[in-house]
Amino acid sequence: MGLLEYLSWRGDLPFSAYPFNEVDGMVFSRLVYAPFDLVLGKGDIEEYGGAVPKMYMEETDGTEGEQEVSIDEVMQTEDLKPEIKITVLPETEVQEVDKIEESASDDKLEKPAKTEKTRARLLRDVMDEILNTEGFREHLLDPQDEALIRAVKDSARYEMLTVSDFIDHISEDEESQFCGMTLHISGDFNIVVFRGTDDTFLGWKENFNMGFVNPLGCQLHGLNYLNVVGAGVHGDLVLCGHSKGGNISCYAGAFCDYSIQERITKIYSYDSPGYMDNVLESEGYGRICDRIRTFVPQSSLIAMILGHKEPFIIIHSIDNQTFHQHNLFTWEVERDMLVRETDTTDASKVFDNSLKAWLDAMEQPKRIKFVDGMYALVTQMKLKKLSDVKKIPVPERVRQTLDAMKTLDPETRAVITEGIKLMFASYIESKNSLAHKASR
């Protein structure tokens, strides 16, 4: 069974009987992609530390590249530390609840979560309002999200969950896309969920920036968000996210205030890219690493980007197409666990090796120019979202791409051409190397 079937099978079982598990984390990591902003608004990033600077400097000349900013320097920058502010909705009704036990104790009905005075709203009410918003389907990133929203709304397991602190922030200046929310199972158990990359090209550019920007704007926003939210709630914290959302979760958990880090019981990361060495080798990451659970499908591509210190938990996707396995709706579930696999596929290994080879072969200044140049192409084509590309017939798409290439300066065009050639060469070399090892 899959994510939706899990809700049908376990949707009537309260958390007091069956505690929060890795499949619940996956449900919420997908649910955060729902258009909460239609009901809750976009939120105000100023409440969570405000704008963050681009964390790399422009090239000083054509050979020296960018000047690095160390993780320690970033974490000590006062401008990045948010002012802790807790605002409330005075009309929100809150009730006292018992702490969730690790096993069943009695059959008492669960009560709405309490976070003292809170701006939280019942999750099921928000789901209902989304479904009743005219044109909401136009805002779904996956058609299956509608079924997920309905299943969560009708689930007895989630009926008393509340949601607060939704924020959806995107900034061209920061080259950053960030979205998060907090769910409250009780006054003593809170789930901080970060969204992965959305449909915008800006969000995808931020992903590619991982190869030379450290930290990313979304990571700093996640860190500030966790420090603010963590200071405003009591009890345990669980962090989770899919794709870039899982990356943000681990980064925030590694560098948040120590008093908050101590309360993090688990971080669930679903097919998420990794980090540069200075993050993996940091003291904060070392403290949180044994609490990170990183799940990857058998043909994972995204999690192969950059490095991980924690071991992978390889799971089974029911879709045989490599790119589709990143979709959480394809992951197989058995009872309250994801179905395990023993190893990643050859396709995943080839991608992992070829990406590392490409990064090694292309100097950092050229990587920067390559990513900026590719983004300039889609900007020139006036494309904002990936879904915009599908609306353009293939012949017209090719014509527009070639026309956009002509607008770039010769150096950028040359770097893009070189980068694409290196990608193909790295892929072929990695594929041949794996085939040679298998033939021995």
Mean of per-residue pLDDT scores for the chain: 83
pLDDT in tens, 10-22: 888 889 888 999 9
Same domain for 281 and 377?
no
Same domain for 313 and 368?
no
Q: Which one of 300, 326, 344 terminates a domain?
A: 344
**Smallest Cα–Cα separation from 417: which of 347, 345, 366?**
366
Same domain for 387 and 270?
no
pLDDT in tens, 65-108: 444 455 555 555 555 555 544 333 333 333 333 333 333 333 33
Q: Which one of 302, 323, 344 terminates a domain?
A: 344
pLDDT the model gives residue 107: 38
Same domain for 187 and 143?
yes
Same domain for 94 and 137?
yes
Confidence of residue 368 (pLDDT cuts 50, 70, 90): confident
- Under 8 Å between Cβ of 335 and 361: no
Same domain for 339 and 360?
no
Same domain for 106 and 128?
yes
Out of 217-221, 287-291, 413-417, pick the least confident: 413-417
Q: How far apart are CA 410 and CA 395, in angstroms?
A: 24
**Smallest Cα–Cα separation from 129: which of 151, 150, 157, 159?**
150
Q: Please give the structure tokens belonging to residue 88.
A: 């409330």
pLDDT the model gives residue 80: 53
Q: Which one of 296, 326, 344 terminates a domain?
A: 344
Q: Which residues are bridge partners to 317 per DSSP? A: 331
Going across the sheet that includes 189-194, the strands are: 121-122, 162-171, 176-186, 189-194, 236-242, 264-270, 292-297, 312-315
pLDDT more than 70, % of the chain: 83
Q: For the whole model, what pTM was predicted?
A: 0.82
Task: Write the DSSP assignment of 242-283 as a string of letters.
Answer: ETHHHHHHHHHHHHS-HHHHTTEEEEEEES---B-HHHHTSH
pLDDT the model gives residue 112: 43
Boundaries of domain holding 370: 353-439
**Smallest Cα–Cα separation from 103: which of 15, 9, 191?**
15
Q: How far apart are CA 430 and CA 421, in angstroms?
A: 14
The residues near 412 (Cβ < 8 Å, ≥ 6 apart) are: 369, 372, 373, 376
Same domain for 320 and 371?
no
- Under 8 Å between Cβ of 41 and 206: no
Same domain for 36 and 62?
yes
Same domain for 164 and 243?
yes
Same domain for 263 and 409?
no
- Under 8 Å between Cβ of 217 and 206: yes
Look at the chain and report how many structural domains it folds into: 2
Same domain for 225 and 280?
yes
pLDDT in tens, 301-328: 888 888 899 999 999 999 888 878 899 9
Q: How far apart are CA 181 and CA 163, in angstroms?
A: 7
| Residue with more model confidence, 434 or 141 | 141
